[in-house]
Chain A
Amino acid sequence: MKAYLFITCLVDTFFPQVGEDMVKVLDRLGVDLEFPEAQTCCGQPAFNSGYRDDARIVAERFINIFDQALKNDQDEDSYIVCPSGSCTTMIKVFYQELFTNDLLLLDKLNYLTSRMYEFSEFLVKVLNRTDLGAEYGGAVTYHDSCHLLRELGVKSEPRQLIEGVKGAELREMEMHDACCGFGGTFSIKFPKVSVSMLDEKIESIVNSGANTVVSCDMGCLMNIDGALSRRGISVKTKHIAELLASRDKEEK
């Protein structure tokens, strides 16, 4: 089995550790890994801002890079795996809006879509694994990222994975499925509303009593962590890949 990594520009640029941990976890499970080096971004920033022509150029490039990778592959059992519910949504759900008339590209896209998974969903649904031998000390609360939850319908998989971590106790926060206020450029366009939404999220996280908040999207986590860090709140933020890789690290 082979997995082509779509690492996302956010992880590539700001959080490479998350990508590295995803690699560790998948490698341990015996998945062959490839990183198509021409990849950059899925195009969501432009698409969500209303610049569809610009998004289309970047999206078409993405489709061609990964289509080529899958096509050159002899392995029938190949997938695209991505450590973000939001970027996976962009490709699996919103790309359809960009290429309504281009049948050749849509054909490639449909194949990509059928092979593509967000990381936690891939582990549970494709690899059928929930216990990865990870260890982590402390109470963990899970933030449902909006795209992963509502566009891809992934709700139980990350929770099963957290429950499979030795030493970690899953403590649901009250507003686990409420948006954290990130929303991409929304956080810059309407900072007062965005931060006010974030305030409630932070309150919910703190009230859960967990020492770590886990999610499957670094967009949400950089927003949440931005406030925790600014306010000096000691709750840690972790991408699920970091949690699942954390057995060979000293983690408290």
Chain B
Amino acid sequence: MSFGKVRFEKDSAEAVDNKALQDALVNVTNKFRSARRNASELVPGWEELRTRARDIKRETIDNLDKYLVKLESSVKKAGGHVHWAGDGEEACRIILNIARKNRVKSIVKSKSMATEEIELNKNLERAGIRAVETDLGEYIIQLAGEHPFHIIAPAIHKTKDDISRLFSEKLDIPYLSEPEELTKVAREKLRSEFLNADMGVSGANFGVAETGTVVIVENEGNARMTTTVPRIHVALMGIEKIIPRYEDLSLFLTLLARSATGQKSSTYVSFITGPRRDTDKDGPEEFHLVLLDNGRSRILASEETRESLYCIRCGACLNNCPVYRKAGGHSYGWVYSGPIGAIINPQLMGIDQAPELPFASSLCGACRDVCPVKIDFPKVLLELRQRVVEEKQKDRVGWRSFLEGLAIKTWRIITANVKLYNIALTASYYLQYPLSMGNNKLRSLPYPLSRWTAARDFPAVSRTPFRKRWKDLKQTVGKGGVNIK
């Protein structure tokens, strides 16, 4: 599976027809939704916490240059190395160089969306270095050669049977039907990977500018192992993951765990400040922080959509999104999915690679209600829609967008002139007549409304629109209409 142009309509339609996938989606979104709701209700002043987190994020992102330089100096002071990667290719090259310099043969990885974004594993493999995912979900999708289906639960679309068959085929073991047996196999395989690895690559949930601390949250303990057992630790962090002060962590950790899984705290929270110190009994000899831009500064440059960078990757927007609940993660065509994918994929990939995504939303706003940093998703989506239209008009591509543009222009000319509007009302009534035959519902209409009538009836245009009725109504109103006491 590799990235190409996003095909949301096609892929989401296939997802809707996949019964097992639909069941999995309902289960996982329901589970996470109620967990988040219950956990957040127990925190007094939850709303104020979200507002505070948004304020901190806004200030940080507005002054990102300053904080990044501060982070760099803090990491160096703690004995770590800092690398700047303009794009995914450069990030891969940096990590590869660190590996080569240290004669690294095998790498263990903990879960990181940034490494998915730059397709690190594939790039390392090309250079002859094996990288093994150690988060169970990531391990599964790595075996399957897929991308994450969900930001925090990458393999939720796989059934138990899928995994049994996958393990049997890829690990050359008999078919095991019990989850405990499967987990045991993964555990044994991964244990030896940890012990043999020369290098561990992790992501970063937060990077604290003040202290140079990288914070990683997880539930399996594999990230703790990844960052402490091998002799080199490389953390890849998107530049927007920065927070200013150590004391801000309590707020963000409170919001992240509850918004993501409904936990009060993740099972493991690792605070990593530089490599092993002389007094430490264990830990890596070298610590590298790779700061990844990969399109983020482009988002930063846009005042209208900058808040896309406030995201702390909790996945709450996915779980609350009625569209994600149907379309599933892979329809979004890249590593990020759901509402956050709909706003950042087009911005990071380039809008021409994902022109459907800003439209892949009913603008219901349920995502904004649960976002721990209150990203105004509908506002950003609407802004991006405008950009898609501008791009398309420039390129004049496709008959569909040509028709759409023509339809909107016609609509505008009619709507901006009440005489034309009146004529259009009357004309529509008569034009529809062969289809309605006087009924108030239409069962079939030509394209594009055929896409509606395939499964739904469409209302017929009224013979007497309101504005005609008003002429009679205004004679009767105001005559002391029955005043109800």
Contacts and interface: CB of A to CB of B under 8 A. Distances in A.
B454 A40 contact: no
A127 to B, nearest CB: 11
B327 A50 contact: no
A14 B409 CA distance: 22
B20 interface: no
A54 interface: yes
B363 interface: yes
B334 to A, nearest CB: 18
Contacts of A39: 418
A136 to B, nearest CB: 15
- Interchain residue pairs A-B with the least CB separation, the first 4: A183-B362, A226-B456, A50-B385, A27-B481
Give the size category of B's interface with A.
35 or more
Interface stretch (A102-110, A154-162, A190-198, A208-216): A190-198
Band of interface residues on A: 35 or more
Interface stretch (A16-24, A70-78, A111-119): A16-24
Given A12-B467, A191-B452, A186 B359 contact: yes
A28 B452 contact: no
A97 B384 CA distance: 13
Interface stretch (B201-209, B223-231, B458-466): B458-466
A110 B467 CA distance: 27
A139 interface: no
A176 interface: no
B483 A30 contact: yes
A25 B209 CA distance: 61
Contact of A61 (B416, B457, B469): B416
B424 to A, nearest CB: 9
Interface string B420-456: 0100010010000000000001010000110110111
Given A54-B412, A193-B326, A196-B16, A188 B366 contact: no
Nearest to A45: B411
Contacts of B415: 9, 40-41, 43, 58
A178 B389 contact: no
B322 A187 contact: no
A16 B356 CA distance: 34
Contacts of A190: 8-9, 12-13, 323, 327, 359-360
Interface string A180-224: 011111111111111111101000000000000000000000110
A197 B362 contact: yes
A50 B364 contact: no
B441 A97 contact: no
Interface string B470-484: 100110111011111
Given A27-B477, A150-B368, A183 B449 contact: no
Interface of A: 7, 9, 11-16, 19-20, 23-24, 27-30, 32-33, 35, 37-41, 43, 45-52, 54, 57-58, 61, 94, 97, 131-133, 146-147, 150-151, 177-179, 181-198, 200, 222-223, 225-227, 229-230
Nearest to A133: B484
Contact of B478 (A33, A43, A51, A147): A33
Nearest to A16: B466
Contact of A30 (B421, B456, B481): B481
A184 B53 CA distance: 33
B342 to A, nearest CB: 12
Contacts of B322: 178-179, 181, 197, 200
Is chain A's interface secondary structure helix, strand, loop, or mixed overall? Answer: helix
B466 A19 contact: yes
Contacts of B349: none
B482 A28 contact: yes
A229 B408 CA distance: 29
Contacts of B382: 47-48, 50, 94, 97
A38 B470 CA distance: 13
Contacts of B210: none
10 contacts: A35-B474, A46-B408, A51-B386, A133-B484, A150-B368, A179-B322, A190-B360, A192-B9, A192-B16, A193-B326
A13 B470 contact: no
A150 B364 contact: yes
A16 B469 contact: yes
B404 interface: yes
A198 B456 contact: yes
Contacts of B428: 13
B193 interface: no
A131 B485 CA distance: 9
Given A47-B382, A51-B408, A193-B16, A14 B484 contact: no
A151 B466 contact: no
Nearest to A30: B483
A52 B386 contact: yes
A58 B483 CA distance: 37
A150 B368 CA distance: 9
Given A52-B386, A97-B379, A15 B459 contact: yes
Most buried by B among A97, A147, A190: A190
B418 A146 contact: no
A188 B452 contact: yes
Contacts of A24: 481
B6 to A, nearest CB: 13
Given A16-B462, A40-B421, A51 B389 contact: yes
B478 A32 contact: yes
B388 interface: yes
B483 A150 contact: no
- Most chain A C-beta atoms within 10 Å of own C-beta, residue among B404, B456, B473: B456
B457 A226 contact: yes
B361 interface: yes
A12 B465 contact: yes
A61 B415 CA distance: 10
A50 B388 contact: yes
Interface string B380-424: 001101111110000000000000110011011011101001000
A38 B389 contact: no
Contacts of A19: 466, 469-470
Given A30-B481, A146-B362, A226-B456, A49 B412 contact: no
Contacts of B462: 13-16
A198 B382 CA distance: 23
Contacts of B443: 230
Given A188-B448, A193-B326, A58 B362 contact: no
Contacts of A181: 322, 362
Given A23-B473, A182-B362, A14 B9 contact: no
